[in-house]
Amino acid sequence: MSTPETVTPSGQRSPRRPGAGGSVAVGPNPAKSWTPTPAMISPRFLSPSISSAVGTPMKRVLVNLRGYLEEVGHLTKLNHQDAWLPITESRNGNAHYAAFHNLNAGIGFQALLLPVAFALLGWSWGIIALTIAYFWQLYTLWILVKLHEAVPGRRYNRYVELAQAAFGEKLGVWLALFPTVYLSAGTATALILIGGETMKLFFQIVCGTLCSSNPLSTVEWYLVFTILCIVLSQLPNLNSIAGLSLVGAVTAITYTTMAWVLSVSQERPPSISYQPLPSASFGSAAFSILNALGIIAFAFRGHNLALEIQATMPSTFKHPAHVPMWRGAKVAYFLIALCVFPIAIGGFWAYGNLMPPGGILNALYMFHSHDIPRGLLATTFLLVVFNCLSSFQIYSMPVFDSFEAGYTSRTNRPCSIWVRSGFRVFYGFISFFIGVALPFLSSLAGLLGGLTLPVTFAYPCFMWIRIKKPQRFSFSWYLNWSLGILGIAFSLGFSVGGVWSMERFSPGDGGHVLQKQPSCFVCSADDMEFDDYVSAVDGEDELQLGQLYFLLPVSMLRRRLHADDIAALAVKASAALMSSGGAAGGCHCRALVFPEAGARLAVSTGAPELPRRRRRRSGGRRGGGRGRDFKSTLRGIPE
């Protein structure tokens, strides 16, 4: 007799008879015995019309047999609520879907910051750190894929569920809930801000001088992007956004490739240097290194979604879900490597330590906006917008799943289309208001990023030890303990570095001025020489009282200063100081930078002082020593 495969509501196929043919093997050897399928013990088989002929004792035997099969893992225990939730509602995923989702979740705007890390670390340490981080996160991803079905008869469909199984119900929630929610909701909020700003840049490039007299403000562009995200978020479940994930994957690969290819193909700035940026003290250098390592670590994301992606696939003992999942993940992360390594190496080669904090796209726009055709720049920004729209959907899906899980657990029924839409509209606008109303959250990115680092680099190693229980003092035991402890240590270090970075650019620092003028640099009047290149003030250097500074466009770093240039700057600075009035009288005003004055600004710190000829300093603070703290005495004066 033949026993055909059946598919349960969760996608769990029933096991076939292992023996060939239709005969039943009888004997003491259990390997040749066969297991009854769920179809033989299904509710239909036990219906009243059939059970009367079978008899109550037979029903008891079959029910007990079904329970035994669930215990030993031949059948997956079903949770009827899973069929109502966005992550597990559809289980027809495959290796192609896994590749799309992992690519969409694994690469994004964080990769554009990798050249900034290289500017802090240099060539050798930058490449070493990036290589180690890549293989480390690939190993932890393999752990998560394997642990999805580590316990027979149980599938851990969400990261928090696996953490509870490994660390306990309460401790697992405490350890995993906050970082996973922040990675999902925080990334969605960041995508709204980046997507809105990129849409504004795209509009300015395409429209140019033909734009209307009243263009949309930045906040209004955030709102436009949020509405687009809400419209796309009406797709019901994770499998239904596979097409969007494909779009996100293709656009991410394309714009990262365009960014480094366009940068490498252009002429490099003449004052470029590949030496790590100098620091004022040992502590500042240490925190800069931690900041650079944090940028590299945060470039690899998506581990908080690995179990959710694998949950969309059917699974049996013969065809476990980890096989197509790992096949798709290998393809995805091979393509990710082809994106992150060239953009880090090519971007640093093109701009060196002149790389702005905003990443390679900012550098491309500042240095080559007049050299590259507007069509190419506009296409690059448009691809970034499409990628942000696609990434928003997959990163928001765990939050949608949590909303609907709370609703279904209370009502014991699935969400209607109106309730589901209401949840997603509410979440979209909450993310919008958080991004707009709490702008200081961007200064907490380093701190919160350090707190979420264990999700990728540490927790999976500890989960493997707790669930798989490798032999004590074996290679696997040592490896996972070492990586887990290192991950926690790096998390603490990056968190401390994040706190330091919050105070790094104080109102009296050059970096604070550049935060509102990213396309400019600060130059001291003492460092200006005839027929020589201009040197930028380090972002960590404190601007000194009584010193004259200029805020110049980055393009001036690429050419020498002539006598007429210095004369023009002196005239403009004199006129600006005369018009400022109170500055000459010793009035200490708060730092003020006018973002619309894009050409040149003179930055005065107290009483005016004529430019003096001094020997150029190679590093450290200008003015000698540490100097006093004049954080509230700066004034930016438009020319």
Secondary structure tally for the chain: helices H, strands E:
22, 4
Rounded to 10°, the helix 159-167/459-468 angle is 50
* pLDDT for 209: 66
Amino acid at 29: N
Amino acid at 287: F
Edge to edge, the sheet with strand 601-604 lists 520-524, 548-553, 601-604, 635-638
Amino acid at 156: Y
Q: What is the DSSP string of 421-455?
A: HHHHHHHHHHHHHHHHH-GGGGGGHHHHHHHHTHH
Q: Tokens for 611?
A: 């430019």
Task: Report in angstroms the alpha-carbon separations of 551 from 257, 377, 437, 639.
Answer: 32, 26, 29, 10
Is-contact 336 34, C-beta < 8 A? no
DSSP 8-state code for residue 183: I
* pLDDT for 163: 95
CA distance 112 to 298: 11
Count Cβ atoms below 10 Å from residue 425 Cβ, excluding itself: 16
Is-contact 357 443, C-beta < 8 A? no
Q: Which residues contact 260 (CB under 8 A, 6 or more apart)?
A: 342, 343, 346, 347, 350, 360
* pLDDT for 620: 40
CA distance 279 to 288: 8
* pLDDT for 544: 60
* pLDDT for 543: 62
Residue 21's φ and ψ, nearest 5 degrees, are 80, -170
Count Cβ atoms below 10 Å from residue 187 Cβ, excluding itself: 24
CA 309 to centroid of chain Cα atoms: 17
CA distance 104 to 240: 14
Residue 551's φ and ψ, nearest 5 degrees, are -105, 105
Task: Report in angstroms the alpha-carbon separations of 58 from 26, 50, 61, 64, 70.
Answer: 20, 11, 5, 10, 19
The per-residue b/e assignment along 259-287, b for 16 or more CB within 10 angstroms, e otherwise, is bbebbeeeeebebbeeebbebeeeeeeeb
Phi-psi region of 473 (alpha: psi -120 to 50; beta: other; left: phi over 0): left
> Which residue from 512, 639, 494 is spatially nearest to 579, judged by alpha carbons?
639
Is-contact 253 380, C-beta < 8 A? no
Residue-range domain boundaries for the chain: 1-78, 92-278+299-438+455-465, 510-638
CA distance 214 to 167: 56
Strand ranges inside 377-486, DSSP E: none
**Quick one: three-class SS letters along 80-130?**
HHHHHCCCCCCCCCCHHHHHHHHHHHHCCHHHHHHHHHHHHHCHHHHHHHH
* pLDDT for 532: 72
Is-contact 312 148, C-beta < 8 A? no
The distance between the two most distant Cα atoms of the chain, rounded to a whole number of Å, is 108
CA distance 346 to 360: 10
CA distance 431 to 420: 17
Q: Which residues contact 598 (CB under 8 A, 6 or more apart)?
A: 519, 553
CA distance 4 to 129: 52
Q: Tokens for 433?
A: 């208001």
CA distance 246 to 100: 5
> What distance, in Å, lies between the first and last C-alpha atoms of the chain?
92
CA distance 131 to 348: 16
CA distance 591 to 606: 11
CA distance 355 to 263: 11
Apex CA 145: angle with CA 143 and CA 151, to 5°? Answer: 90
The list of the chain residues with pLDDT below 50 reads: 1-54, 72-74, 505-517, 579-639
